[in-house]
Amino acid sequence: MSEILNRPHITQAGGVFWLLCRVEVGIQSPASGIWKLLTDAKNFPRWNSTVTAIEGEIRDGGRIRVHVPGTERTFRPTISDFLADARMTWTGGFAPLFKGVRTFQLTPQPGGSTTFVMQERFSGLMLPLVKRALPDFGPVFERYASDLKREAERTHA
């Protein structure tokens, strides 16, 4: 999308062995300010209502433990494709059975704003069996993007 979106825009798609959820929003903050929020594991739960804790460092090659509300399950993604102020990828699961790949992309726009895109692709042979147990990621991604936008714009103001 070429225009700056003031509200999160959700896209979802899927097939038998894959599922994708994507959110995009324009944030009135430079990419560097947004990046600081996205990589500060200790303070993540302070601004992000979709995470209760993150253990470990959000850095290239790092492995973190992500705790989310409403479940005792801990997600343990590995971080890669780490380019400061631009992009990173969190990968978890056990391919080819079940794998989740979450990507974060920051694209600077004219006037100092940034387009934020986060998407997660689930895939694997077990997906048809577990798909019904997965939550609807649309509202979660919308809340994640709204929380990020609010905090980035608040700290940038």
| Digit-coded pLDDT (tens) for 20-45 | 999 999 999 999 999 999 999 999 99
Query: How far apart (Å, rounded) are the C-alpha atoms in residues 106 and 127?
Result: 29
**Other CB atoms closer than 10 Å to residue 23's CB: what's the count?**
25
Closest residue by Cα to residue 39 from 75, 70, 85: 85
**The two structure tokens encoding residue 100:** 């989740």
DSSP state of 80: E
- pLDDT tens for each residue of 116-132: 999 999 999 999 999 88
Predicted pLDDT at 89 = 98
pTM for this one? 0.94
Q: Categorize the per-residue pLDDT at 4 as very low, low, confident or very high, splitting at 50, 70 and 90.
A: low
For residues 115 and 107, is the Cβ–Cβ distance under 8 A? yes
Is CATH 3.40.50.2300 what the domain over 9-156 is classified as, yes or no? no
| Burial label, 110 (beta-carbon count in 10 A; 0-12, 13-18, 19+) | exposed
End-to-end CA distance of the chain: 25
For residue 86, the Cα-to-chain-centroid distance in whole angstroms is 13
**Other CB atoms closer than 10 Å to residue 58's CB: what's the count?**
20
What three-state secondary structure class fits 42?
A: coil
Looking at per-residue pLDDT, the higher value among 65 and 70 belongs to 65
